[in-house]
Chains A and B, each alone.
Chain A
Amino acid sequence: MMRHTIAVLVKDHPGVLARVAGLFTRRGFNIESLAVGHTEENNISRMTIVVEGDERALEQITKQLNKLIDVIRVRDIFPSNSVERELALIKVNTNSLANRSEIIQMVDIFRAKIIDVNSQMMTIETTGTEDKVNALIELLKPFGLKEVVRTGKIALFRGSKSVSTFKKQEE
């Protein structure tokens, strides 16, 4: 089983998310993460969906996505040819002074940021590849994680290649 990152450009109107998400459920695919936001074009949103499946499953899901009228473009974003980032906010316990400085060190090493702090806890913001975010979370675990929230992965092709310069898949 391979993990794939799929970029989907959709018309920005009510019901689109349900349509896309419903399709994954119906065809038996599990969405690992999904990030949605506006794009450079008016009324067009972009979903970045991480999904697990073999090549054939991926092909089927790409084709099924393309069949949705509200879907404008679908692209498989290969890790070798793309930049990808995820953002996470991590709330961690800081009960003792010793803990606090150790956490701050770690934040430095990871080039993360402390964005909120009080006597009991710190909230850390980090951006990076999924692996980097995972690694930081793992390291912070022993201190006691209070809450973690992640945006899910977003990705762009490297260089001048872009999803929006492609036409809707025609075979």
Chain B
Amino acid sequence: MSYMKLTGAQIVVECLKKEGVKVIFGIPGGAIMPLYDILYSETSIKHILTKHEQGAAHAADGYARATGNVGVCIATSGPGATNLVTGLANAYLDSIPLVVFTGQVSTNLIGTDAFQEVDINGITLPITKNNYVVREVRDLARIIQEAFYIARTGRPGPVLIDLPKDIQLAQTEFKYPEKVSLNGYKPTFSGHIQQIKIAAQEINKAKKPVIYAGGGVISSNASSELRDLAFQANIPVTTTLMGLGTFPETHSLSLGMLGMHGTAYANYAISAADLIIALGVRFDDRVTGKLSKFGSQAKIIHIDIDPAEIGKNVLVDIPIVGDLKKVLKKINEMIEKKENTEWLEIIKDWKRKYPLKYENNQELKPQYIIEEVYKISEGKAVIVTDVGQHQMWAAQYYQYTIPRTFISSGGLGTMGYGFPAAIGAKLGCPEKRVICISGDGSFQMNQQEIATAVNNNLAITVIIMNNGYLGMVRQWQELFFNKRYSSTTLTGNPDFVKLIEAYGGTGIRVNKKQELSPALEKALSLNKFVLIDCIIPGEENVFPMVSPGSPLDQMIGVD
């Protein structure tokens, strides 16, 4: 059988189609022009031109998180490629599947410091799951297929493919391999049955169990198995920031988020538990507080697809490597029905004594804004956040019940992530309401993407919590640096309403509490891109708070 001869650029597009890619993000440039030339006449793939490559990477990431599919973005060589670096690191730390194409100078020029040449493979080695430089056009289809496979299987992550210009132009017979064969990559899916039995026994025996669920539950699509486990044995559930939405926060078994800005009752519960069931989590320092005290009363079951996460930060008693969905299904078959009445009473008491709270006065409080957004969206919106105080308020005061409805930069904590990610999320889920919660600091880190949102008629609502500060840093300066507000005052902010209008979008300013719900109603009814600039009190703090290095049960702002 003979195959059609295609150029490298055509092969890329054919492979994207084989992988079911519908939307890609990027910016053209010299070394990627052959690929863009093919995209020009391709109708089945929508290309979204962002205004900065970082925006493209975050948009692809937001698309991936909202849909569960692999996000794809493209940049040219040199500065185009280096502008992707933050986006790659962000996706790597949160285990988000991306396939990223970068242009590269022609193979005969590699290593000569040619115009816009940079060793993007070398630069991205530690922040990609794998990366490739394509040196022969005949390898291209195999590499792209491998990249998609590696990105979405096992512990997902970003994969970069560096495409020299001459490879994009060279021709070869196109054949998409039937299957991927990688002898160095074989994720363990099913979990060790003996370990699973022991885990089930421990769960059946436990008097004070707590489930600690993270982003892995979302990656593995195991939210319903998690719920089955919790409901069957009446186990309270706390989630990490990345795990919000995996368990309905409206349910009485929900403890909300744990960790540095978690609820007091989640932190008390995990500190007092006799069994911690850790699902798709990595015991990050923002979650555990002082490591030696974390779960010191408890046996720990840790289920994760990545063996390297087991025992990395915390020694665990019952490790299980496998796909959460599969492992939880098996565990659930062995779980006895249990009431845990005594334990749940204790928790109920904590919830009553130490609820999440703020002073809800006449001012326009950020917590109040989130509560209003929750009401008006009926808890069904896709909430995308930037990074900082607003991110924590969005995590605390909105009740997430659906996986993939809370999208946020967890591991890297990337300011500037939220807005482009919201663009990606909206393109992935056009039928859903997408609301970006941002701050005046974060938003300005990628505000150039207003053009992208307006130009593509994306009905996103951006809410800026405008306090005139780099708020989270200011909070730390207040608490730990004697209120010396070094470089955290944002003088010179633009008028965000005028800014958005300059791009042809709609802006609304909210100064007073009573103006908020009409503004939200209006924004959501307009069905177009709207920015709401909310002027909030400058020195509002995020509480509760566990100081860095303190044990979880010692919190500021709990009395």
A positions within 8 Å CB-CB of B: 10-11, 14-15, 18-19, 22-23, 26, 56, 59-60, 63-64, 66-72, 167-171
A171 engages B321 (CB within 8 Å)? yes
B29 within 8 A of A: no
Please name the residue on chain B nearest to A23 by beta carbon. B126
Please name the residue on chain B nearest to A11 by beta carbon. B184
A13 to chain B: closest CB distance in Å?
9
Contact with A along B181-217 (1 / 0, CB 8 A): 0111110100010000000000000000000000000
B310 to chain A: closest CB distance in Å?
8
B311 within 8 A of A: yes
Contact of A69 among B126, B182, B306, B321 (CB under 8 A): B182
Chain B residue numbers with a CB within 8 Å of A60 are 308, 311-312
Please name the residue on chain A nearest to B309 by beta carbon. A63
B210 to chain A: closest CB distance in Å?
25
**Contact status of A170 and B308, CB under 8 A, knowing A22-B125, A69-B150:** no
| Inter-chain pairs besides A69-B184, A71-B184, 15 sampled, C-beta below 8 Å | A11-B184, A14-B135, A15-B125, A18-B125, A60-B311, A64-B308, A66-B307, A66-B308, A69-B182, A72-B184, A167-B186, A168-B183, A168-B184, A170-B186, A171-B307
A25 to chain B: closest CB distance in Å?
9
Chain A residue numbers with a CB within 8 Å of B183 are 72, 168
B171 within 8 A of A: no
A92 vs B321: C-alpha distance when bound (angstroms): 54
A68 engages B184 (CB within 8 Å)? yes
A27 to chain B: closest CB distance in Å?
10
B411 to chain A: closest CB distance in Å?
15
B positions within 8 Å CB-CB of A: 121-122, 125-126, 129-130, 133, 135, 150, 182-186, 188, 192, 306-308, 310-312, 319, 321
B184 engages A19 (CB within 8 Å)? no
**Chain B binding surface SS class:** loop
Please name the residue on chain A nearest to B187 by beta carbon. A170
Which 8 residue pairs spanning A and B have beta carbons closest together? A63-B308, A69-B130, A72-B184, A69-B185, A171-B321, A63-B307, A171-B307, A170-B188
Chain B residue numbers with a CB within 8 Å of A59 are 311
A67 vs B156: C-alpha distance when bound (angstroms): 12
Can you list 15 residue pairs at the A/B interface with Cβ under 8 Å? A14-B133, A14-B135, A15-B133, A22-B125, A26-B126, A59-B311, A60-B308, A60-B311, A63-B307, A69-B150, A69-B184, A69-B185, A168-B186, A170-B186, A171-B188
A165 vs B321: C-alpha distance when bound (angstroms): 23
A72 vs B125: C-alpha distance when bound (angstroms): 18
Please name the residue on chain A nearest to B319 by beta carbon. A171
Chain B residue numbers with a CB within 8 Å of A168 are 183-184, 186
Chain B residue numbers with a CB within 8 Å of A26 are 126
Chain B residue numbers with a CB within 8 Å of A66 are 307-308
**Contact status of A67 and B306, CB under 8 A, knowing A170-B188, A171-B188, A171-B192:** yes
A66 vs B130: C-alpha distance when bound (angstroms): 13
A41 vs B311: C-alpha distance when bound (angstroms): 34
A87 to chain B: closest CB distance in Å?
29
A156 vs B43: C-alpha distance when bound (angstroms): 57
A66 vs B188: C-alpha distance when bound (angstroms): 12
Chain A residue numbers with a CB within 8 Å of B122 are 18
A67 engages B125 (CB within 8 Å)? no
B184 engages A22 (CB within 8 Å)? no
B277 to chain A: closest CB distance in Å?
19
Please name the residue on chain A nearest to B312 by beta carbon. A60
B81 to chain A: closest CB distance in Å?
16
A10 vs B185: C-alpha distance when bound (angstroms): 12
A125 vs B352: C-alpha distance when bound (angstroms): 78
Chain B residue numbers with a CB within 8 Å of A169 are 307
A62 to chain B: closest CB distance in Å?
9
Contact of B184 among A14, A63, A64, A70 (CB under 8 A): A70
A60 vs B282: C-alpha distance when bound (angstroms): 14
Chain A residue numbers with a CB within 8 Å of B308 are 60, 63-64, 66-67
Please name the residue on chain A nearest to B125 by beta carbon. A22
A165 vs B310: C-alpha distance when bound (angstroms): 26
A42 vs B130: C-alpha distance when bound (angstroms): 22
B112 to chain A: closest CB distance in Å?
17
A9 to chain B: closest CB distance in Å?
9
Chain A residue numbers with a CB within 8 Å of B130 are 68-70
A53 to chain B: closest CB distance in Å?
14
B327 to chain A: closest CB distance in Å?
13
A35 to chain B: closest CB distance in Å?
20
B305 to chain A: closest CB distance in Å?
11
